[in-house]
Structure 1
């Protein structure tokens, strides 16, 4: 699906996940402003980013605060990590300017190569929503271990409030143990192939939600700009509230 129409009504929110490949596009040019333009096309309320920081050196953010301030409607959730970084191991969460971030944290997970998870609870039109952003390992064994840890932590959050998980799972197989771990607690959406951006065949980027939310629509954001800005296409979902999660005893 190409550029999605903005959901109408107060009871819906749009979420998106986007591996921005450190701002380097399929033309091998680093262009952070181009990423901001893709974010504007998607028009989501909350966006989880992967590869949002440089890999080496100071690991500075690909999207500096001044760029977001002047060329987007978003602010980064403060993760209290390295001063110049936006994310944690490249994972970041953007929220539409004016939305209140109620809490935020970073999560350490088992890894073969440096990986981490970011999480935040955000005040939305649906009430508080907990968001988990991730970029899983290339190794299937480590992906499974990571998925198990993340799914269990997110399952605890869903007992208190609506919960969504998003990110680049690096998982090619629909029947994988990784997706089975997540599907024990969450609905795994079929947004469509998002990698490689010029000829997408792999459903590597995923959005998952708890039973307190229901899907209105979802898809892959494929436009000429998005097909050039990164080697991944963004995925998006419009969700609305079904019921309040039960309070844990």
Structure 2
């Protein structure tokens, strides 16, 4: 194992709509700059209506973020795509960039030094559209796997979804250290869907991240398998983070 520390972070960016109800993608980028993580899992990264475009325009990511969205090779199903003789030309006709960066709102960002080896978009059991995203990465010649997720509001479906994610991880052809991170929507700390982890993973001690103005609930979590060591973990409190979303980002520094 390498002694190289790796910082990961998870951020429910609420489609770039801040606590002042204004959509301001640059504030999201400001928060990402403050955290300066190597790998970031975003939730609510794409708009839910219209073209399902990225809430942060691609040109801002390209020019100002220092991150590369991980290409997932999938496309969100959009109402506009089903229109006869229009669906294939949505972007052209609307004269806007409707490209998403995620899958059901989940996206992964990496710094340039992180190599992407393989990706997968995971379907999850649910009554409404839900999914998770997986990337197998390489840092300093060490492989590791990251899963970004946003679980259901229903406790029953959360358990089914986390179980499905763990099953799909277990079915991967190569074993490697794995990190799951995202908005679990789980208010309890040692019950509910987290029981599905069954001792194989540890929850990084980040702390409460919701609501950003007065955080009382640890909805956003970073879950680390026992092959990784957690050097430090926390919630990112800053003036920018308190305004940019109703969730605060969580982070963890890991040793691969």
The TM-score with structure 1 as length reference comes to 0.89
- Provide closer, same or farther for how the CA distance between residues 157 and 207 of structure 1 changes in structure 2, counting only shifts above 3 A: farther
Comparing 36-45 with 75-84, greater Cα deviation is found at: 75-84
**Aligned with residue 101 of structure 2, among 86, 93, 105:** 86
**Aligned with residue 140 of structure 1, among 155, 160, 163:** 155
- Find the residue that maps to 2:52 and give its secondary structure: coil
Match of residue 134 from structure 2: 119
Give RMSD over aligned pairs. 1.7
**Aligned with residue 63 of structure 2, among 67, 70, 86:** 70
- Provide closer, same or farther for how the CA distance between residues 10 and 96 of structure 1 changes in structure 2, counting only shifts above 3 A: farther
1:202 is the counterpart of 2:210: no
Match of residue 226 from structure 1: 241
Listed as ranges, the gaps of 5+ residues in structure 1 are: 1-8, 242-249
Rg (Cα) greater in structure: 2
Listed as ranges, the gaps of 5+ residues in structure 2 are: 76-97
1:129 is the counterpart of 2:158: no
CA contact (8 A) 2:186 2:192 kept: no
**Aligned with residue 181 of structure 1, among 170, 177, 196:** 196
Q: How far off is 1:98 after superposition?
A: 3.7
Comparing 178-187 with 152-161, greater Cα deviation is found at: 152-161
CA distance in 1, matches of 2:172, 2:250: 23
- Provide closer, same or farther for how the CA distance between residues 155 and 66 of structure 1 changes in structure 2, counting only shifts above 3 A: same
The TM-score with structure 2 as length reference comes to 0.87
